Structure 1
Amino acid sequence: MAATRAMAVARQTTCCLLSKRPFSLSSKSHITNLCFNNKRVFLSSKRVFSCRAIYNPEVQIKVEGQPGTLDYRVFFVDNSGKKISPWHDIPLQLGDGAFNFIVEIPKESSAKMEAATDELYTPIKQDTKKGKLRYYPYNINWNYGLLPQTWEDPSFANSEVEGAFGDNDPVDVVEIGQTQRKIGDILKVKPLGVLAMIDEGELDWKIVAISLDDPKASLVNDVDDVEKHFPGTLSAIRDWFRDYKIPDGKPANKFGLGNKAANKDYALKVITETNESWAKLVKRSISPGELSLV
């Protein structure tokens, strides 16, 4: 991992859609021609697919079960109707310097949704505890989800963050834009900073980002810009994730890196390292354990 840290963050390793073969993309290219789709597509099988992929209208979602039940799943499918994994098959980057972000929990929601990393095709589902659905004690105030093709390695102790080990999940993203998104939306975002949350001894990175279609996106390019144009947001995010377990009788979460959000360069370093960890995982250089690689 030491070699990983020496890598320049200007280049990111990523993979093609429907392929797990890594290749390298430059982050210097410019962002043009965003495609927005939010329509319903009816196929001959009478199943309803909702197409909400901003970067790629060919990726759709297929809902199984009812929201608020143990059977509820949000699957991702390609334009042939074949299920794909939002964790493994959606590319991290498309070569324009932005990253793909998959929404699991829309802002102003309280259901604790997550990618089911131990199930085939890693659909989004509601988290459970002792057989019951989990909810946050209060609504989350930002769009929340994951970066595909990233993985926080539970065998790696991060010497920069109190020696904490990865939490065995994709990297989380807090998207601070003004629009309430939907479960399964795929947004192009740019990272602005990162918080190093330590949850019961596990390192659980929180990338702070903004969607490129947000009206303020051009104004914020690093962590200092967030405080200028979204005053109080960084401390609000930290405090929310610090305290959300307290109503359940658990201790507050902690944060490394001086209890502050690190800058964009550090966030890019985190993304690079966790993408490389994911590449080792899918190559089975590291044992996947119960994780699904399909």
Structure 2
Amino acid sequence: MIPNFKAHPWHGISAGENSPQVVNVFIEIVPSDTIKYEIDKKSGYLKVDRPQQFSNIIPALYGFIPRTYCHDEVMQLAIDNGSTDVETGDLDPLDILVLSSHNIHGGGLVMEAIPIGGFKMIDKGEADDKIVAVMVGDHAFGHVRDISELPDAEVKRLKHYFLTYKNLPDEPAKCRIDDVYGAAHAREVIEASKRDYASKFGG
């Protein structure tokens, strides 16, 4: 009899057969969450990180691309594209925000998404890219193929979250966004993070 087991969301699921054009995403947080969850790297289960601070509620589905890691390759890509005082990647899986019109009630699930761009975020010397994607087949966002197709107000809303979600009132900004990039560069970041993963954990 084959024992039951659960694949580790980071290591046991692929980045997607058609990655980086279409990627698998493990969703950790949904917009209705008032608690920030993140993957426990050892067990693969979701754990409570912290309550969301003040009004900073995640604006879309949020998670990571399996079998990615942000280290030297992701750092070098940031430097090659003009970022300064970057010392490393953030040593985590690559973060991804998935736009969808559907009301998904909780995290801990896997979906396919199409990367359309991202934010080159630098957080205290760490390259901490945030990929922006759309859920495959979504009725409102599924046709979008590049972040330039989104309304400016939507991009500003996403940027505002990432620039403020760690801050207490009246604190100086802890991170910055050096660039808003399109789908082509998002695919480069994904490939760099896959190479970082292979260097750290094997192919």
TM-score (norm 1): 0.60
Task: Pick one of 142, 158, 164 that aligns with 2:60.
Answer: 142
Q: Aligned residue for 2:34?
A: 110
The answer as to 2:13 corresponding to 1:95 is: no
Query: 5+ unaligned residues in a row in structure 1: which ranges?
Result: 1-78, 128-132, 285-294
The answer as to 2:162 corresponding to 1:241 is: yes
Give the structure with higher Rg (CA): 1
Does structure 1 conserve the Cα–Cα contact (< 8 Å) formed by 2:13 and 2:67?
yes
TM-score (norm 2): 0.86
After superposition, give the CA deviation of every residue in 1:17-75 in whole Å (9 maximum; x if it has no partner): xxxxxxxxxxxxxxxxxxxxxxxxxxxxxxxxxxxxxxxxxxxxxxxxxxxxxxxxxxx
Does structure 2 conserve the Cα–Cα contact (< 8 Å) formed by 1:147 and 1:170?
yes
Give distance in 1, aligned partners of 2:16 and 2:91.
21
Residues 104 and 162 of structure 1, relative CA distance in 2, 3 Å threshold: same
Report matched runs for 1:119-268 at 5 Å.
119-120=42-43, 122-127=44-49, 133-138=50-55, 139-153=57-71, 156-157=75-76, 158-159=78-79, 160=81, 161-164=83-86, 165-181=88-104, 182-227=106-151, 231-247=152-168, 250-252=171-173, 253-257=175-179, 261-268=180-187
Give distance in 1, aligned partners of 2:116 and 2:38.
23
Residues 212 and 113 of structure 1, relative CA distance in 2, 3 Å threshold: same
Give distance in 2, aligned partners of 1:151 and 1:199.
16
**Structure with the greater relative contact order (CA < 8 A, sep ≥ 6): 1 or 2?**
2
2:12 aligned counterpart, secondary structure: coil
Decide which structure has greater helix share: 2
Query: 5+ unaligned residues in a row in structure 2: which ranges?
Result: none
Residues 273 and 177 of structure 1, relative CA distance in 2, 3 Å threshold: same
Does structure 2 conserve the Cα–Cα contact (< 8 Å) formed by 1:193 and 1:264?
yes
Residues 206 and 109 of structure 1, relative CA distance in 2, 3 Å threshold: same
Residues 272 and 163 of structure 1, relative CA distance in 2, 3 Å threshold: farther
Between the two proteins, the alignment pairs up a number of residues equal to: 193
Amino acid of the structure 2 residue aligned with 1:102: F
Does structure 1 conserve the Cα–Cα contact (< 8 Å) formed by 2:135 and 2:142?
no
Give distance in 2, aligned partners of 1:166 and 1:108.
29
Task: Pick one of 188, 199, 202 that aligns with 1:280.
Answer: 199
CA RMSD of aligned residues (A): 2.2
